[in-house]
Homo-oligomer: A and B are copies of this chain.
Amino acid sequence: MTSDADANTGADATADTAADKAAPSLRARVRAEMTAEIKRVALDHLAADGSALSLRAVARDMGMVSSALYRYFPSRDELLTALIIDAYDSLGVAAEEADAAFSDRGEGAGRAGRAEPSDRADRADRADFAGRWLAVGHAIRAWAVAKPHEYALIYGSPIPGYTAPQNTVPPANRPMVVLARIVADAQAADGLASAANDRPSAQLHPELTQIADFLNTHTDPAGTARFLTAATHLFGAISFEVFGRLNNVFTDRVGWYDWQLRSMTAYLGLVHNK
């Protein structure tokens, strides 16, 4: 439907003829740069003017006429969607990198064949489940605090008159997948030792299992329920901070958030295991 990807697709088809200039044509590269620039300027506007996104304002800032933007995005809502997807991806990467900083030894031959011993001796163990939850939690918060308007875009109140299309769903899951993985690994390793005695009702089981499948973990329903509760708290805590509910309440925001995360890892039954 949209013609955005056509240039790239076409470029791929002619890639073998142009050896020097790599795959994409000049036009395609300029187009990609322009598209990125539009998104960048749009984000600047979100940050500056509050959260109303205006095509005309973006065009003005780029020294173009507003109608020119329609060469890149078929409508304002499509631009919004692009920003939302980028935000989810950016947050997802931050979360994934924080978790990836924990090395692989102790796990089975997981990733590719590159099983050579870690080059950084101080790399934390992947079996330090509580440490991983803390690291990922802090990474998510740091991202949100650094980009509060992008955070509001994806975790704030729905935008009037806009409904996110289905293709926002996979990126939206990335941060959740990272958190879910930690709990799943913990359960696989030691069964989530101090599991609470509150088991979800049988009625909730099918959907909890479905969620675990969807996030590509194999945590049991009770573990999934506790994981979702802890994740709900995590984003709730960040929303409280980013949306201003901690103003004049806590000065040491990181310290307070850190305490909450630690408290919730205890709730989850995650243990340190170095």
Contacts and interface: CB of A to CB of B under 8 A. Distances in A.
A229 B161 contact: no
A124 to B, nearest CB: 20
A203 B259 CA distance: 11
A215 to B, nearest CB: 11
Interface string A218-235: 000000011011001111
A198 B229 CA distance: 19
Nearest to A225: B259
Interface in A24-80: 49-52
B252 A204 contact: yes
A263 B196 contact: yes
A83 interface: no
A264 B204 contact: no
Interface centre among A52, A203, A233 (most CB of B within 10 A): A233
Contact of A260 (B207, B229, B266): B229
Interface in A207-265: 207, 211, 225-226, 228-229, 232-237, 239-240, 243-244, 249-252, 255-256, 259-260, 262-264
Contact of A198 (B158, B197, B249, B262): B262
Given A204-B255, A236-B239, A259-B200, A157 B249 contact: no
A198 B233 contact: no
Interface of A: 49-52, 152, 155-161, 196-198, 200-201, 203-204, 207, 211, 225-226, 228-229, 232-237, 239-240, 243-244, 249-252, 255-256, 259-260, 262-264, 266-267
